[in-house]
Amino acid sequence: AKPDLPLPCPAVRLPASSAGPLDGTKIAILTGWEVPSGWSDREAFASSFGRHGQYAKGNDVQPFRDGKTGEKCRTSTDGLIKAMSVLSAKSESGDDNGKGKEILFFTNDVENPSFLADLSSRHGVPPPVSSLPAFGNSSASF
C-alpha cells in the first residue's frame, strides 16, 4: 500500500491483484488492472457490449435531458462510444464545436443492471474489494 496520495482524505494505492481485503474505511485506488482480451479498444468493447442501453451523461455525472420533454437522454453503448469519439476528435483537432462538451461513460447496477451483469460475467471483482458490500459501477474513457 502506498498512502502518499495528495487527497484531503485517507487513501491507499493497491495492486488490483492484492490478496488482502479492504475494510471499507479508506478510499482505495486500484492499480495494475488487466484489460480483458477482446476489450483492447473502443471498437472491441462496443462489439461486446454495444447493445446495452446507457444514459448519456455530462461532467456532473447526471444524464443529459431532452430540451423539450425533459426526458433523460438514452442511447446504446455503441452510440455513446461513438459520440465520445466524435467529441474527442473535435477537441483534439481544435474544433470549437467540441470544446467544453464532454460525455461521460458512467453507470451503476441500479441504473443499468443488465449491463453490469454482462460486464461482471466477463470480468471478475478484484480481490481487495471482493468482500465489501456490493455497489456495482462502471466508467470508461475512450
pLDDT tens digits for range 11-30: 777 787 776 666 666 677 77
Name the range with the highest mean pLDDT among 9-23, 41-55, 120-134.
41-55
The overall longest dimension of the chain from CA atoms, in Å, is: 51
**Measured between alpha carbons, how far is residue 25 from residues 22, 86, 96, 109 in Å?**
8, 39, 43, 22
Instruction: Please say if the pLDDT value at position 10 is more than 90.
Output: no
- Give the predicted TM-score (pTM) of the model: 0.70
Task: For residue 52, give every residue at least 6 positions away whose Cβ sits within 8 Å of its Cβ, in sequence order, or none.
Answer: 76, 77, 112, 114, 115, 118
Side chain identity at residue 118, one-letter code: D
What are the tens digits of pLDDT across the range 48-78? 999 999 999 988 889 999 999 999 999 999 9
Pairing of strands 11-15, 27-31: parallel
Q: What is the mean pLDDT of residues 40-54?
A: 89
Residue 7 reports pLDDT greater than 60: no
Answer yes or no: is pLDDT of 35 > 80: no
Q: Among 20-29, 46-55, 87-96, 126-135, which range has the highest average pLDDT?
A: 46-55
